[in-house]
Structure 1
Amino acid sequence: MTTLLLSDIHLPNQPSPLRDAFARFLAGPARAAETVYILGDLFEYWIGDDVGRREYGPEFAALRALGDSGVRVRFMHGNRDFLVGKDFAAATGVELLPDPLRLEMAGVPTLLSHGDIFCTDDHAYQRWRRFSRNPLAQAIYHRLPESMRLRVAGTARAGSENKPSMIMDVNDTAVRAAFIRYDVRRIIHGHTHRPAEHAYEVDGRPRERIVLADWRPRHREYLICDANSWRRQIFDPTA
């Protein structure tokens, strides 16, 4: 019973090798999994399901086909696509998840997250995150013309650039608090684009944090978890 996890694909709304590779992933390795978790930022930006369906029609169809093949597909919002909504879920068959999500994965108590909730040193972003997740703010945003929604999204993306690298990574205290609060031995997340494995000792117990890799035109990676172990896997769409 294999689980695949990936994040930070950042699919653009224009033709791209990333989009081609993702389509091949859904039609290839993903078909052999029991469950596929997409932990946020599948899309470079998302200004609403109405526009998303028009711009990402092939991805809608490919996700639906994967689900129809018997694979459970579960999606967690990222900081770029937190407006993915119920219409997307209905059209693709993808299950929308809360962030974070605690579950047993191969017998290991595990916490899944996009990861931005742990970047608590970026105070301005955390304020924006709380505001942008407010249902009233989202309802007002969805009523704006498409051009204005694009402008707001562009401003938000620009605001995330040129920040000190140290505040773009997770906060150690926040991570340790999450291990205790959710009583887990493992945390898996993306967002930081800093794939690595981190060992911890919290309350006298060993813990681990696995950071998923972001996808790039020449490097596409996902995580495989089964009953015995986990491992990183490079996906070569030309193989």
Structure 2
Amino acid sequence: MQPGSDTSAVALPVFYELAAPKGWRSIDFISDMHLSAALPHTVEAWAQHLRNTPADAVFMLGDVFEVWVGDDARQLPFERHCVDVMAEAASRRTLAVMVGNRDFLLGAQMLRACGAMALPDPTLLTAWGRPVLLTHGDALCLEDTAYQSFRREVRSDHWQQDFLARPLAERLAIAADIRRQSQQRHSFDGRVDADIDAGTAVAWLHALGASEMVHGHTHRPGSQDLAPGFKRHVLSDWDLDDAERPRAQVLRLSRDGFVRLQPTGATGPA
């Protein structure tokens, strides 16, 4: 789809707009850390980066946690540790959180506890005169119709109210069952081969007068043209506990543009 094309056939979401303060020098974007107690090296690298990055802000674009069953889970030992890490980081720099397909139940109580700012999906960020569209990315994987149907169901008020009304222990058991059953996991995450719909992504960008977007979800880090004049920057997933393929990456934006970096203080499995 070219600039100036008719986008009337594309259903546009409500876009949240955010302007970076003039004094900021850089912003870090990360996503898909899938934090859990089973990934100690990944958790430590994430914590070290939040504590030590020189960036003025860290924007986490979804799937911060492997699973999030409700904000009352923040009192559990592992989740409490993550709250403490985020609260410490938020006392030094701006911390913003966008929910993903794994942690879409992360809400206002958790954000208040860790001092983080909610980042609606999608958000148009303007920094140093540069408009950049931010999204987790799963809402744009339109070819995966089974996942989109599932996504609409679990994002509905009715489903969430019913699920959150269950005792915490029951919700944790349901989450553990989902992790054990690969077929359900694929339903929860979407197809592993799914990618965003380029035409719809360009329509979003065109409607906003932007030419670049940043997203996660697909675990395919890199920067590619979506169409002439329109580009996407895909974030890396993190797994520094994988001895065969350890991975973690930060995408940093400054006045000079985008650059990909290793997390500050990242270490892998022994």
Above 0.5 in TM-score? yes
- The superposition leaves residues 53-96 of structure 1 with CA deviations (integer Å, 9 ceiling, x where unpaired) of 31311211111111112x11110000000000111011101111
Residues 153 and 200 of structure 1: is their aligned pair in 2 closer, same or farther, counting only changes over 3 Å?
Answer: same
Alignment counterpart, residue 230 of structure 2, candidates 207, 214, 220: 207
Contact kept? 2:31, 2:235, Cα under 8 Å: yes
Amino acid at match of 2:186: E
* Alignment match, 1:216: 239
8 Å Cα contact 2:62-2:136 kept in structure 1 = yes
- After TM superposition, the structure 1 stretch with the greater mean CA deviation from structure 2, 9-18 or 45-54, is 9-18
Residue 58 of structure 1, aligned match among 73, 78, 81: 81
**Alpha-carbon deviations, 1:91-114, whole Å to 9, x = none?**
101111210001213322110000
Instruction: Give the counterpart of 2:103 among 81, 87, 111.
Output: 81
Amino acid of the residue matched to residue 266 of structure 2?
Answer: P
Counterpart among 199, 224, 239 of residue 173 in structure 1: 199
Q: Secondary structure of 1:109's match?
A: strand
Identity of aligned residues (%): 31
Q: Distance in 2 between matches of 1:153 and 1:238?
A: 28
**Mapped contact 1:46–1:52 kept (Cα < 8 A):** no
Pairs aligned (count): 232
- 2:260 aligned with 1:232: yes
* Equivalent of 1:127 in 122, 132, 149: 149
Return the alpha-carbon distance in structure 1 between the equivalents of residues 233 and 220 of structure 2: 10
CA distance in 2, matches of 1:187, 1:17: 29
Alignment RMSD: 2.1
- Corresponding residue number in structure 1 for 2:18: none
State how far apart, in whole Å, the 2-side matches of 1:164 and 1:18 are. 24
Partners of 1:39 and 1:78 within 8 A in 2 = yes
Residues 144 and 191 in structure 2, CA contact (< 8 A), matched pair in contact too:
no
Tell me whether 1:94 sits opposite 2:116 in the alignment: yes
Per-residue CA deviation, residues 155-184 of structure 1 (Å, 9 max, x unaligned), is 655424397544x21122222222223321
Structure 2 Cα separation of the partners of residues 56 and 80 of structure 1: 15
Cα distance in structure 2, aligned partners of 1:90 and 1:152: 26
Q: Is the 8 A contact 2:50 2:58 kept in 1?
A: no
Give the direction of change, closer, same or farther, for the CA distance of 1:182–1:152 in structure 2 (3 Å limit): farther
The change in CA–CA distance for 1:170 and 1:201 in structure 2 (over 3 A counts) is: closer
Do the aligned partners of residues 165 and 33 (structure 1) sit closer, same or farther apart at CA in structure 2, a change above 3 Å counting? closer
The Cα of 1:154 is off from its aligned counterpart by 4.7
Equivalent-residue separation in structure 2 for 1:150 and 1:124 (angstroms): 24
TM-score normalised per structure 1: 0.89
The reply on whether 1:161 has 2:191 as its aligned counterpart is: no
Q: Which residue of 1 aligns with 2:222?
A: 196
CA contact (8 A) 1:108 1:185 kept: no
- Give the Å deviation of 1:7: 0.3
Find the partner of 2:91 among 53, 56, 68: 68
Structure 2 Cα separation of the partners of residues 49 and 89 of structure 1: 9
Residues 1:39 and 2:68 aligned together: no
Are the counterparts in 2 of residues 74 and 96 from structure 1 also a CA contact under 8 Å? Answer: yes
2:10 corresponding residue in structure 1: none
Question: Residues 49, 107 of structure 1: CA spacing in aligned structure 2 closer, same or farther, 3 A cutoff?
Answer: same
Counterpart residue type for residue 143 of structure 2: D
Unaligned segments of structure 1, at least 5 residues: none
Aligned to 1:16: 40
1:187 and 2:213 are equivalent in the alignment: yes
- Once the two structures are overlaid, the 10-residue window that deviates more, 60-69 or 156-165, is 156-165
